[in-house]
Chains A and B, each alone.
Chain A
Amino acid sequence: MSTSTIHDIGYRHYDGPRSGRAYVLRSLYVHNLRAAFGLGRPARAKIMPFLLAAIMLLPAAGSVAVFAFTDQEDALIPYASYANIMQVIVAIFLATQAPVLASREVRFHVIPLYFSRPVGHLDFVLAKSAALATALFALMAVPVTLLYVGGLVAKAPDPGKQVLEYLGGLVGCVLFALVLAAIGMVIAAFTPRRGFGVAAVIAVYMLSTTIVGIVQGIAEERTNFTLQGWAGLGAPFNLVDIVQVRLLGAESSSVGIAPGVTGGVVALALCVAIVLGSIAVLYRRFRKAGLS
């Protein structure tokens, strides 16, 4: 008489090859990157990201066209200041797309479904943050590349300097993307209600920019340019611009730039702290999300 046959209905364990952690990470990254532009979702979700991306391209295209016709070098927008000049559009893109990546799964309580599979908590957070950062980088780097290529085609003078400035601009874009994605993801992860995530992200951007602007205005009136420079650390775009100007040798496009290499190093340290802090906060947030 055999035992234990009554419960064995023939299920078998999976013994085949497993795709592993890198595969999980890559799949999540690609899925989230597509989601950031509304790909794989209805047309309604695609309108806004692509509209904003198109708006981002307009000034670059216009600038190249003006340069091609007039041959005046200052018609070309400096690569490093492009993201700063278009910061409103970048901020709106961040505000609309960060909740798409960070809020939706929290809102519908499906995070535990991810973690019931072999998906690490940290991998999940890293893939999401990297996807948003990549989307933001693409948003900013494509117009900058257009400027560079346009300048090249229209024979902008001093190609060696242009290459260096272009590469510096791209590094700046990477930094912009990382810092903005970090800020946006954290805020969106804590405001799951529809519409509130967008409002919260844009509120943080607008309020920090406005307050820093007021403080810088007062400091300028009192000719306290040191305070004016350091106040720039409080607004995300100004913060990254300080790094660009002080460490990457770009021209300033913000009102206040913290003085000296010290200013640049402090700003860079703050950027790193924001990115690492955001990963830590998101890790804690998603680990518990949806279990209650």
Chain B
Amino acid sequence: MNPTIAMITFRAMLGRKRALLLLGLPLLLLVLSVILRATGNNDLDLSAHVLQNFGLATLLPLLALIAGTGVIAPEIDDGQIMYVLTKPIPREVIVVTKLVVAIVLVTIFAVVPTLLAGLVLVGTTAQVTPAFTIGILVGGITYSAVFVALGVLSRNAVTIGLLYALVWETLLGSFAPGAKSASVQQWSLSVADALTDASMVTSTVGLPVAVTLLVVVALAATFLATFRLRSLPVASAE
């Protein structure tokens, strides 16, 4: 961890109007939860459905994508990363710092709002709310690691991330069960599944496999990003 890099990254991510964009997404989830509660549409099944479809399947990948690629990709693109790389700071420290910033952002803007939305909708009935909070937190860590690595590896990081999150996890997932099992979304759902009694929440992946894969993928992505940052080809901004 390098506090200076962390501070600069936070400022780049939250400066000016960008914090509003990041804040707008979770705010919609909260507004939706309040409306659903006010209109009496907050039974357990529906609440679990909202938390899963909105929190886990939409908000989490979206914010992890924005935060994960946003902490590093723009700097690589416009060449600012050179000012960091030419300092005597180990590459792994840079990657880990960027990753921690991304995870903190995901926690603030996805995990905490899900917790609040869950509390608004069902309270702590059947442990649905804590289950989804923890599921989204672990999923957020892996997603962030993957998207930070993607940001270092490719100039088209955001598009590739979108193709993964939308096409692979959602579209292919509904046709091919194999693709469904190989997705961060299902692994975090598996964690949530293990923590709640609600029968609504089911995952296609077993808990031990899911946890192992979450950890392995997160570590592999971090190592890959570090390795790639060692010999980063510097191209001029387009």
- Chain A contact residues, CB within 8 Å of chain B: 41-42, 44-45, 47-48, 55, 88-89, 91-92, 95-96, 191, 193-196, 198-200, 202-203, 206-207, 210-211, 213-214, 217-218, 221
Q: How far is the CB of A259 from chain B (nearest CB, A)?
A: 22
Query: Are B74 and A195 in touch, CB under 8 angstroms?
Result: yes
The answer to whether A41 and B162 touch (CB under 8 A), given A195-B70, A199-B65, is no
Give the shortest distance, in Å, between B76 (CB) and chain A (any CB): 10
Q: A45-B238, A88-B167 are in contact. Are A203 and B21 (CB under 8 A)?
A: yes
Whether the pair B62, A206 counts as a contact (CB closer than 8 A) is yes
Kindly state the separation between the CA atoms of A207 and B25 in the bound complex, as whole angstroms. Answer: 8
Contacts of B46 in A (CB 8 A): 218, 221
B92 at the interface (CB under 8 A from A): no
Residues 155-204 of B contacting A (Cβ, < 8 Å): 155-159, 162-163, 166-167, 170-171
With A47-B156, A193-B74, A194-B74: A202-B50 Cβ-Cβ less than 8 Å? no
Q: Mark B53-70, 1 if CB is under 8 A from A, else 0.
A: 110011000100110011
- Point out the residue from A194, A195, A198, A210 that lies within 8 Å of B53, measured CB to CB: A210
Do B162 and A202 touch (CB < 8 A)?
yes
Report chain A residues within 8 Å CB of B166: 88, 91-92, 202, 206
Seen from chain B, the residues whose Cβ lies within 8 Å of a Cβ on chain A are: 18, 21, 25, 28, 32, 36, 41, 46, 49-50, 53-54, 57-58, 62, 65-66, 69-70, 73-74, 77-78, 155-159, 162-163, 166-167, 170-171, 238
Residue picked from A194, A199, A200, A217, most chain B C-beta under 10 Å: A199
CB atoms of A194 and B54 under 8 A apart? no
Closest to B46 in A: A218
A191 touches B21 (CB 8 A): yes
A96-B58 contact given A89-B167, A194-B74, CB 8 Å threshold: no
Partner of B50, one of A199, A207, A214: A214
**Given A210-B58, A213-B53, does the pair A194, B73 have CB atoms closer than 8 Å?**
yes
- B21, A194: Cβ atoms under 8 Å? no
B58 with A206: CB separation less than 8 A: yes
> From B24, which residue of chain A is reached at the shortest CB distance?
A203
Q: Are the C-beta atoms of B66 and A207 separated by less than 8 Å?
A: no
- Say what secondary structure dominates the interface of chain B: helix
Tell me the nearest residue of chain A to B12, going by C-beta: A193
Q: What are 23 sample pairs from A and B whose C-beta atoms fall under 8 A apart?
A: A41-B238, A42-B238, A44-B156, A47-B156, A88-B167, A92-B162, A95-B159, A96-B156, A96-B162, A194-B74, A195-B73, A198-B158, A199-B70, A199-B158, A200-B21, A202-B162, A202-B166, A203-B21, A207-B28, A211-B32, A214-B32, A214-B49, A221-B46
* A74 and B214 alpha carbons, distance in the complex (Å): 41
Of chain B, the residue at the smallest CB distance from A217 is: B49
When the two chains form the complex, which single residue of B41, B65, B66, B167 contacts A218, counting CB atoms closer than 8 Å? B41
Q: Are B159 and A48 in contact (CB under 8 A)?
A: yes
Name the A residues within 8 Å of B167 (CB-CB).
55, 88-89, 92
Tell me whether A203 and B162 are in contact (CB under 8 A).
no
Question: Smallest CB–CB gap between B60 and chain A, Å?
Answer: 11
Tell whether, in the assembled complex, residue B62 and residue A203 are in contact, meaning their CB atoms are under 8 Å apart.
yes
B18→A202 contact, CB < 8 A: no
Residues of A within 8 A of B69 (CB): 195
Residues on A with C-beta less than 8 A from B163 are 92
Q: B residues within 8 A CB of A89?
A: 167
B70 and A202: CB pair below 8 A?
no
For the complex of A and B, 8 pairs with smallest distance between CB atoms: A199-B66, A198-B158, A210-B58, A194-B74, A96-B159, A88-B166, A48-B159, A92-B162
